């Protein structure tokens, strides 16, 4: 047996060497065997379903690309505006609350409120935050009440139908610097300082953008003309912003002794504004981690139960037990 196998190999190769025609024949045989699958391939290529699905896939890809990037693929575009018109993209800063289960740094929120009150509040309102919102976040009840009482609010009418002024209550909203939008524009050379309540949600890049903007003031590069009264900031779309740089080292004096550098104040005030835009942030993350744990446990449980129930069904073997012929 072994000898036969040994002798077979050389004999075959010798045969092939002697008869070169046998090799093309082998190829021909192989071609004949693949011919059927080739015709199946051709019928696949020619089928309407293939045509329809490929067309659908192509149209879908183009639509998806257009939706994602805002322009058709493989078509060059010429823009009248420069890329700087869009504003520089802000970098990702390592916020203390950046992680999936990281809360705000509440000491930073408290310092940020101080910066807002002493610096930003000269021009920017914070309409949607009431004094009571600070309680349990950055200030105690007594502190919030004391801050509210420093401001006079109009109330009324009283018995005589007159409006009167009264010290603020804890449920009052933070006062704005201007009585109305026209006064705000008139005080800022026509530029309206936006309300800061939701500014972190309202700008692309969120907190990163606001931080980059208020720390990003530089001299305009050569060839860039900035109009009188405007300031150059590469992060602001268009480059020219009505607001001047306001944060300089040592501008405020923190009560907890933190050195008030420009970047520290910017970080604190942006953390504060982030809290103002998303006051539910901490609870959201806490409930999120709980929901993830519960739902993943339930998912694993349901997968296990499914396998448990299906195991006997999937592993069963159906045997045909033929009837025994009783006549024999």
CB atoms within 10 A of CB 216: 19
- Smallest distance, other proteins to C-beta of residue 96, A: 6
Closer CB to other proteins, 256 or 325, in the complex: 256
Cis peptide, bond prior to residue 20, ω within 30 of zero: no
Rounded Cα distance, 220 and 269, in Å:
25
Q: Which part of the chain contacts other proteins (CB under 8 A), choosing from 34-42, 63-71, 105-113, 167-175?
A: 105-113
Q: Known binder of ligand: residue 163?
A: no
Kindly tell me which residue out of 87, 88, 110, 208 binds other proteins, with binding defined by CB under 8 A. Answer: 110
From residue 141 to residue 180, what is the string marking binding to other proteins with x (rule CB under 8 A)? -xx-------------------------------------
Report the C-alpha gap between 69 and 79 in whole angstroms. 15
Per CB under 8 A, 104 contacts other proteins: yes
Query: Rounded to whole angstroms, what are the CA distances from 122 to 109, 115, 179, 217?
Result: 19, 11, 13, 19
Identify residues 68-97 at the interface with other proteins (CB under 8 A). 96
User: In Å, how far are 9, 26, 44, 281 from 39, measured between CA atoms?
Assistant: 36, 20, 8, 62
- State the nearest-atom distance from the C-beta of 105 to other proteins, in Å: 5
Q: How far is the CB of 290 from other proteins (least distance, A)?
A: 5
Smallest distance, other proteins to C-beta of residue 218, A = 32
Smaller CB distance to other proteins: residue 241 or 270?
270
How many residues of this chain interact with other proteins, rule: CB under 8 A?
24
On the 0-12 / 13-18 / 19+ scale of CB atoms within 10 A, 273 is buried
Gap between the Cα atoms of 225 and 159, Å rounded: 59
- Taking CB under 8 A as the binding criterion, the range among 12-20, 175-183, 221-229, 283-291 that sits at the site for other proteins is 283-291
User: Is 120 annotated as ligand-binding?
Assistant: yes
Taking CB under 8 A as the criterion, the residue among 35, 171, 224, 293 binding other proteins is 293
**Does residue 300 bind other proteins (CB under 8 A)?**
no
Contact 86, 237 (CB under 8 A): yes
Helix (H, G, I), strand (E, B) or coil at 16: helix
| Min separation Cβ 268 and other proteins, Å | 13
Instruction: Work out the angle at residue 272's Cα, subtended by the Cα atoms of residues 271 and 278, and round it to the nearest 5 degrees.
Output: 85
User: Residues 149, 155, 278, 282: which binds other proteins (CB under 8 A)?
Assistant: 282
Residue 79 is assigned to a ligand binding site: no
Contact of 157 with 110, CB cutoff 8 Å: no
**Per CB under 8 A, 301 contacts other proteins:** no
Binding site annotation covers 124? yes
Burial 174-208 (b: 16+ CB within 10 A, else e): bbbebeeeeebeeeeeeeebebbbbbbeebebbbb
* 56 sits in which H/E element: helix 48-69
Q: Distance between CA 296 and CA 310 in Å, rounded? A: 21
Nearer to other proteins, 143 or 195 (CB): 143
Q: Which residues are annotated as a binding site?
A: 120, 123-124, 243
Q: Which residues are annotated as a binding site for heme c?
A: 120, 123-124, 243
Question: What are the residues binding other proteins (CB under 8 A)?
Answer: 96, 101-107, 110, 136-140, 142-143, 256, 282, 285-286, 289-290, 293-294
């Amino acid at each position: 047996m072994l000898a036969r196998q040994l002798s077979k190999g050389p004999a075959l190769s010798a045969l092939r060497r002697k008869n070169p025609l046998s090799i093309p024949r082998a190829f021909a045989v192989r071609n004949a065997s693949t011919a059927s699958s080739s015709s199946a391939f051709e019928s696949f290529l020619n089928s309407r379903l293939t045509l329809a699905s490929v067309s659908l896939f192509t149209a879908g890809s183009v639509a998806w690309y257009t939706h994602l990037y805002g322009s058709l693929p493989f078509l060059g575009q010429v823009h009248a505006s420069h890329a700087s018109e869009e504003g520089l993209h802000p970098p990702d800063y390592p916020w203390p609350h950046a992680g999936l289960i990281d809360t705000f740094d509440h000491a930073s929120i408290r310092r940020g409120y101080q910066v807002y009150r002493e610096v930003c509040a000269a021009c920017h309102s914070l309409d949607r935050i009431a004094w009571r919102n600070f309680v349990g976040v950055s200030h105690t009840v007594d502190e919030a009440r004391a801050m509210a009482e420093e401001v006079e609010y109009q109330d009324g009418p009283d018995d005589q139908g007159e409006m009167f002024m009264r010290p603020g209550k804890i449920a009052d909203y933070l006062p704005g610097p201007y009585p109305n939008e026209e006064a705000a524009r008139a005080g800022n050379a026509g530029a309206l300082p936006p309300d800061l309540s939701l500014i972190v949600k309202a700008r692309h890049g969120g907190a990163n953008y606001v931080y980059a903007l208020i720390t990003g003031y530089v001299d305009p590069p050569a060839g860039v003309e900035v109009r009188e009264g405007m300031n150059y900031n590469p992060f602001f779309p268009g480059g020219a912003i009505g607001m001047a740089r306001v944060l300089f080292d040592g501008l405020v004096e923190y009560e907890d002794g933190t050195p008030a550098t420009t970047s520290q104040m910017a970080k604190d005030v942006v953390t504060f504004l982030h809290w103002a835009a998303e006051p539910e942030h901490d609870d959201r993350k806490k409930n999120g981690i709980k929901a993830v744990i519960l739902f993943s446990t339930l998912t694993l449980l349901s997968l296990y139960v499914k396998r448990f129930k299906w195991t006997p069904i999937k592993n069963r073997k159906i045997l045909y037990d033929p009837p025994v012929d009783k006549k024999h």
